[in-house]
Structure 1
Amino acid sequence: MIRRFSSLQTRKAGKSLGETFLVDRLRDAVAYDRIAGYFSLSILEVAGEAMAHIPKVRVVCNSQVSLNTVGTPEGVSWGLYKSQIWKEFAASGILEREVPKDLLELLYKYLDSGRLEVRILPEERFGLIHGKAGVLTLRDGAKTSFLGSANESAGGWRLNYELVWEDDSPEAIDWVQNEFDELWGDSSAIPLTREVIEEIQRLAKRSVIGLGEWKESPNPEPASAIIETPVYRKQNGLWAHQKYFVQKVFEDHKTLGGARYVLADQVGLGKTLQLAMSAQLIALLGDKPILIIAPKTLLLQWQQELLDLLDVPSAVWDGKAWNDEKGVRYEDKTATAILRCPRKIGLISQGLISRNSDTVSHLLKGNYDCVILDEAHRARRSNLPRIEDQEYGTPEDANNLYKFMLKIAKKTNTLLLATATPVQLHPVEAWDLLYILNQSYDGILGNGYSSWMKPSEAVSYTLGESSFSGTLEEFWKWVRNPLPPSSEYSRENIEVFQILRDSLELADREWIAKPEDLERLDPPAKDRLRELQESYFSYHNPFIRHIIQRTRAYLETTLDPDTNRPILDKVEVKLFGENEDESLELGSYQSDAYELARDYCRLLAKEKRGAGFLETLLLRRIGSSMVAGKRTAYKLLHGESEPETFESLFEDEEEEVDFGTVTPPPVVGEKANILQRIINLLDSGNEEDPKAKKVYEILTKGVEGSEPWLHRGCIIFSSFYDTALSLAGDLSKKLPELKIGLYAGSNRSAILLDGRLTRTDRNLVKKMVQSGEIKILIGTDAASEGLNLQTLGSLINFDLPWNPTKLEQRKGRIQRIGQKYEKIFLFNMRYRDSVEDNVHRKLSERLEAVMDLFGQIPDTLEDAWVEEALGREAEAEKLIRDRTEKHPFAIKYNKNALTFSKSWEKTFEVLNEYERRDLLEKGW
């Protein structure tokens, strides 16, 4: 029998559609299957009591989760799936709305018990689910079905104008049930995540505490100040390795009077977020300023991430005035204006310190709760010892940034240094960073009498080059100064340092035990000390304790104890262009021009030995592109740029690496002849650059059976601006319907459409890439740092940078947390028999070992490229061999680094948002 219901008619009777139809049916039901456009917890406002006794309710509904990025349950990218479901849940407004707690608690109980199951179908699977229907099974075994416009929400059943037709005929029931079963059982239907279910419980139990109450509690929870920040409300929250670092810094700051660490995570693992979150927590605990020092190019990214991810205000010093997160500039003409930051957190450029600015020197007059140095490897001694040296001392001669850090380390409680490459040339560089941390804080390397204060011995024992075989008294010298805190566990998870400290009655803030304390140890403690000798130098040395380094490979293969899933979703790299036959063949004119460029560089090297960059400049640029090579030859020969062309619409070259910063010597004689021949060859031929041709082919057709890379989005890197600009123009003409982004420094970013170029701010280019409006981005190495491009699934290195670290930095733009593809594509381009091809061949056998030892390729391998370019192949071979076999430092990772006493996601007390924001908006 068919019954028809209208909310218009039911209202005339003084009831809602939900009361008239749904509630009545649910009271007599034992099962309920529902197809809904979307599901809302507000249904409990309508039918909560009526649903209370139903053993099983199943709802299948819509989602904007993408099949292209998530896939079927068998191939699901779990992190992305969680992230997308979470974002939809947050966007529903549940986190902002004052939903009655009893409804939240009821919903949690239904979902947690399994009595209510919700499955979500990606919209692209069947389109938007406009069909709404349901089947109810009643106590007596009878069934009924209905179709209508009402969603499973309070609006659908109580407020809106809706129509419902009920039909209890067997044919109708079977028809609706079959429709439900097909949607419910679809391979793309994915269950509501556990994270969402537990968040509903957290909100049901949520309570707000004041800032004072939080600070004064015996054990304030860091999660209370973090769990409702945008990174949790709008994104996927923090990963286990990030929480570990933040919690460790927070606990050390509270209990030890300060945290001192080098954060050396691999590129793409979220160092900035970990540091920013630590800074916020310390700012909330204390009353002194927070100072963040970063490269100028990263300052605005720091400020934006603080605001977007943590809702933390900050101010950036531009050299003359402070600028807050709203763009307000605080004019102050006094010499000490830098000491009046309008926010609790202030950011300044490393460059100002490196130039020894008088203004920046005023910072040393202040005292800080926390100082953070990003890209900390730039603070270094001037003259490193040779790798074979057996003895070397402290950094007597260091750059201005290093000297500044030694001084400001004494003015702060917590000091955090961040770098993906703590070692570039020599293992003492890692010791040098620890030496900064140790200033006025003896818990890192100990006091002036500590054995760890002798860098050559400390490095030798840590690397295992020397093995300790002394007496217990001699061993005690190493252990006691500094004595690790009681929280440090032995390799066997024994509280050995707690036992030693308890025996000596030493508090955690007392870092130095006395020589005679060895005899004061009780027998069990002395036994533990003897057992410690075997593992101490490998597992408890200061390098291990204070350099925290996680590699992507480790995190992708280690299980999170909370979820029993890998800590990090694997982002696999599928590498193309690596085989010898995949290098690109130059045309005849181009090949002749390249060989002439090689001759030119060798001639120049004979005249002026040692200027490696200048000697190889022409070869670097012609190896990038024929356009760049021709322009360089022209400028070397004539001392000026070519006449106005598309490639010279902007000022010359990218800062730091480009030709415009170099003044070439006068060119005469044979060199001048070579340069003219290069220009003539490149002018006379109509050969398309093989790289440009290959890029277009990869973007539109794919490679080795892959889909066209344009479909997944692609970033194309070049070391040189004119190469990038020329390629952008070429692609824009071939793909006229597409917007192509050009990302570069010095205000030279642009958007190209149908060959027309529009200069624009590079932040706008970045936003257009992240929103999906731009699918092809061409970038100089200005795009290789501080840029998050998880929306792109492929990368082409149009040229290989001679500083190999940049390869990792480039890859880190897309191989990072939040990448939407489980596998990213990467193509390395090089001309056959070029310098890049020859060095790549020599490096390829050792590259994996280099990466394992360094976490990144060391910058110093650039020297190998120079030697190869100048024909000194034996020297190139030796450099590669030395830097891989005589590796600088392999930092082990503490396997206990992912143990938490409490899951942050189950924190029920949250910090008062107004008090939190008010404190952070106060100035120094």
Structure 2
Amino acid sequence: MNIERPTNWREDFNRRFEENGPWDSWSLYKMSYEIEKMNLIPEFSGLQAPKFLTNLQILPHQLEAAKTVIEKMNGKAILGDEVGLGKTIEAGLILKEYMIRGLVKKALILVPASLQNQWVTELNVRFFIPAIPYRKNTPLDHYDVVIMSMDTAKKSPHREKIYEQDYDMIIIDEAHKLKNHKTQIYEFVQSLKKKFCLLLTATPIQNDVFEIFYLVSLLKPGHLGNFETFQSSFSATKHSLKEEKYLKELVNQVMVRNRRQDTGIEWTNRKVQTIPVHFTEEEREVYDMLYNLKNVSSVFSSSFTMVTLLKEMCSSKEATYLTLKKMLEKCITKEEIDYIEEIINKLMYLEVNSKAEKVLEIVEQCNEKVLIFTEYRATQAYLQWYLNTKGISSVLFNGKFSKSKRDWVKQLFRERDQVLIATESGGEGINLQFCHHVINYDLPWNPMKIEQRIGRVHRLGQEEDVHIYNLAIENTIEQKILDLLGDKINVFEKVVGDLDDILAT
């Protein structure tokens, strides 16, 4: 098929030339002028994006965060708001602003796999940004805004495909997962070209002060010096440092952090209790035998293995049994085998789980929806069985569930069951504002995991005071965990800022 150029323009031009006009149209000029005026951005201060997002209610602290990142931080920042304040909204707003200004065309967003679909929905529906989820054979050349799971991005051949692209902006959700500089995902992100980069995390320090060094170094290499300089300048060890005010000032140059109390929104209160639990004599006997294992068997000489077993015993005999059975296969001497089989035998005859009884007591007193966190799947299954024998309905939550199953579990908890029992992975990506009781059945070493757990219920939309119950068995490893959690919270507050209550004072 031949395409011919129109020739009538020539006749029209000749006619105007002979008649000396008309050469202009006032109405067309006015229309053209109005269009140009609408597209004109006369200065860089202020945000253009909100006037295009009429279906989105943007809160003042979110607007201010976006302005600060764009005007003062040149698009490279840690968005460190407390859990539930809308870091996703802030990131979407910043991305939209840069796209409107023509400074960003291609963007890569790295998220935990469980949050991939949530991000796609947010950007498409709320921000009118045509983002797509990355699948195995998605041609990256054909799409400008791609949302990919961290686990996928760091592996071949996906990693190499990403390196071939020229992304203007990189956004990383749950960026505290990059805390270890020796991991594959950290090295991958470090190698990415980053014109603009946003790291989203409510918990920029989780276990030790060096985590903030590595996060900041991803954004602005050298901002805190190299590792040796950082260590010596602040006399930094994992859980202590000096010159913290100067470090806080440096960190605040690349971090925006809003706290609930600073937003102007009226928040409900947190009421935190640490509830001591006492072992029965039989439970204590098994615990002491486990503690003595390091003197009996070389298999248990590893401090990690010993700590794991002691923590499991503070959780349930079911969790302890599974680890002991695995270890039994590695034993060589008859003495080792006999000792472990004796422990297993005593485990089997335990009739009481003191901590589970305390949970039952709390759940019955509340007579409302309760969210329980445990670190072990075996304990999760046991608690569901135990509560069921007492006439209390519950549903389990696993972070590996598909989006549809997660939504279904949430619906069951809302409409049918009194209790949701979640493993650690339930601390991310599920919002349960209709519940306001949280039991930390097992305490993690990391205080920010507790904050993430509480953040499932204490977030925008919560209308009741939130009650947190931290269970700890006296004279066990859980007592040491409580002490260490306090030290870690102290370091966090020195560098990042005050934290809402997660432990009872």
Residue pair 1:338, 1:360 contacting (<8 A) in 2 also: no
Residue pair 1:434, 1:546 contacting (<8 A) in 2 also: yes
The SS at the match of 1:820 is: coil
Give CA deviations for 1:406-429 in whole Å, capped at 9, x if unaligned: 33234x3x2111233334566554
1:572-591 to 2 correspondences below 5 Å: 572-576=269-273, 578=274, 582-591=275-284
Residue pair 1:593, 1:682 contacting (<8 A) in 2 also: yes
Q: CA deviation at 1:459?
A: 7.3
Residue pair 1:797, 1:828 contacting (<8 A) in 2 also: yes
Which of the residues 348, 359, 367 maps onto 2:166?
A: 367
- Give distance in 1, aligned partners of 2:242 and 2:354: 48
The SS at the match of 1:691 is: helix
Residue pair 1:409, 1:436 contacting (<8 A) in 2 also: no
- Give distance in 2, aligned partners of 1:676 and 1:459: 47
Aligned to 1:834: 476
User: When the two structures are aligned, how many residues end up with a matched partner?
Assistant: 456
Residue pair 2:439, 2:471 contacting (<8 A) in 1 also: yes
* Residue 812 (structure 1) aligned with residue 455 (structure 2): yes
Aligned to 2:267: 570
Amino acid at match of 1:417: L
Gap change, CA 1:667 and 1:304, over 3 Å in 2: farther
Residue pair 1:307, 1:313 contacting (<8 A) in 2 also: yes
Q: CA deviation at 1:438?
A: 3.3
Gap change, CA 1:788 and 1:592, over 3 Å in 2: same
- Give distance in 1, aligned partners of 2:90 and 2:82: 13
Which of the residues 34, 37, 42 maps onto 1:218?
A: 42
Gap change, CA 1:538 and 1:679, over 3 Å in 2: closer
TM-score (norm 2): 0.78
Which of the residues 125, 136, 148 maps onto 1:348?
A: 148
Give CA deviations for 1:177-207 in whole Å, capped at 9, x if unaligned: xxxxxxxxxxxxxxxxxxxxxxxxxxxxxxx
Gap change, CA 1:427 and 1:731, over 3 Å in 2: closer
Which of the residues 189, 203, 207 maps onto 1:405?
A: 189
The SS at the match of 1:814 is: coil
Residue pair 2:370, 2:435 contacting (<8 A) in 1 also: yes
* Residue 272 (structure 1) aligned with residue 88 (structure 2): yes
Gap change, CA 1:458 and 1:264, over 3 Å in 2: same
Aligned to 1:420: 202
* Residue 732 (structure 1) aligned with residue 388 (structure 2): yes
The SS at the match of 1:829 is: strand
Aligned to 1:691: 355
Q: CA deviation at 1:399?
A: 3.9
* Residue 761 (structure 1) aligned with residue 442 (structure 2): no
Q: CA deviation at 1:352?
A: 3.0
The SS at the match of 1:830 is: strand
- Give distance in 2, aligned partners of 1:632 and 1:381: 27
Gap change, CA 1:228 and 1:632, over 3 Å in 2: same
Residue pair 1:544, 1:892 contacting (<8 A) in 2 also: no
- Give distance in 1, aligned partners of 2:455 and 2:147: 24
- Give distance in 2, aligned partners of 1:224 and 1:291: 25
1:191-206 to 2 correspondences below 5 Å: none
Greater gyration radius: 1
- Give distance in 2, aligned partners of 1:572 and 1:624: 29
Give CA deviations for 1:808-835 in whole Å, capped at 9, x if unaligned: 22122122222221x2111122333221
1:523-602 to 2 correspondences below 5 Å: 542-550=250-258, 552=259, 555-556=260-261, 558=262, 567-576=264-273, 578=274, 582-601=275-294
Gap change, CA 1:585 and 1:787, over 3 Å in 2: same
Gap change, CA 1:608 and 1:666, over 3 Å in 2: closer
The SS at the match of 1:267 is: coil
1:284-303 to 2 correspondences below 5 Å: 284-286=100-102, 288-303=105-120
Gap change, CA 1:569 and 1:366, over 3 Å in 2: same
Q: CA deviation at 1:240?
A: 2.9
Residue pair 2:375, 2:424 contacting (<8 A) in 1 also: yes
Give CA deviations for 1:574-601 in whole Å, capped at 9, x if unaligned: 122x2xxx42222333222222222225
Residue pair 2:432, 2:457 contacting (<8 A) in 1 also: yes
Which of the residues 44, 60, 68 maps onto 1:248?
A: 68
* Residue 434 (structure 1) aligned with residue 213 (structure 2): no
Q: CA deviation at 1:365?
A: 2.1
Residue pair 1:743, 1:765 contacting (<8 A) in 2 also: yes
Amino acid at match of 1:727: L
Residue pair 2:445, 2:484 contacting (<8 A) in 1 also: no
Q: CA deviation at 1:789?
A: 1.5
Aligned to 1:719: 375
Aligned to 1:744: 398
Residue pair 1:747, 1:761 contacting (<8 A) in 2 also: yes
TM-score (norm 1): 0.45
Gap change, CA 1:247 and 1:622, over 3 Å in 2: same
Gap change, CA 1:698 and 1:228, over 3 Å in 2: same
- Give distance in 2, aligned partners of 1:852 and 1:817: 26
Aligned to 2:336: 671
The SS at the match of 2:199 is: strand
The SS at the match of 2:396 is: strand
Gap change, CA 1:744 and 1:214, over 3 Å in 2: farther
- Give distance in 2, aligned partners of 1:243 and 1:429: 28
Gap change, CA 1:689 and 1:419, over 3 Å in 2: same
The SS at the match of 2:197 is: strand
Gap change, CA 1:667 and 1:216, over 3 Å in 2: farther
Q: CA deviation at 1:764?
A: 1.3
- Give distance in 2, aligned partners of 1:317 and 1:427: 34
- Give distance in 2, aligned partners of 1:294 and 1:345: 13
1:158-197 to 2 correspondences below 5 Å: none
Residue pair 1:288, 1:367 contacting (<8 A) in 2 also: no
Gap change, CA 1:615 and 1:843, over 3 Å in 2: closer
* Residue 626 (structure 1) aligned with residue 321 (structure 2): no
Amino acid at match of 1:817: L
Residue pair 2:372, 2:421 contacting (<8 A) in 1 also: yes
Aligned to 2:8: none
Identical columns (%): 25
Q: CA deviation at 1:807?
A: 1.9
Residue pair 1:239, 1:567 contacting (<8 A) in 2 also: no
Gap change, CA 1:406 and 1:629, over 3 Å in 2: closer
Gap change, CA 1:429 and 1:676, over 3 Å in 2: closer
- Give distance in 2, aligned partners of 1:852 and 1:266: 17
Amino acid at match of 1:222: A
Aligned to 2:306: 615
The SS at the match of 1:741 is: strand
The SS at the match of 1:368 is: coil
- Give distance in 1, aligned partners of 2:179 and 2:340: 39
Aligned to 2:501: none
1:490-529 to 2 correspondences below 5 Å: none
Amino acid at match of 2:387: L
- Give distance in 1, aligned partners of 2:67 and 2:412: 35
Residue pair 1:260, 1:416 contacting (<8 A) in 2 also: yes
Aligned to 2:436: 793
Q: CA deviation at 1:724?
A: 0.7
Give CA deviations for 1:95-124 in whole Å, capped at 9, x if unaligned: xxxxxxxxxxxxxxxxxxxxxxxxxxxxxx
The SS at the match of 1:591 is: helix
**Gapped regions of structure 2 (runs ≥ 5):** 1-33, 236-240, 499-505
Q: CA deviation at 1:213?
A: 6.0
- Give distance in 2, aligned partners of 1:748 and 1:316: 14
Gap change, CA 1:608 and 1:593, over 3 Å in 2: closer
Aligned to 1:662: none
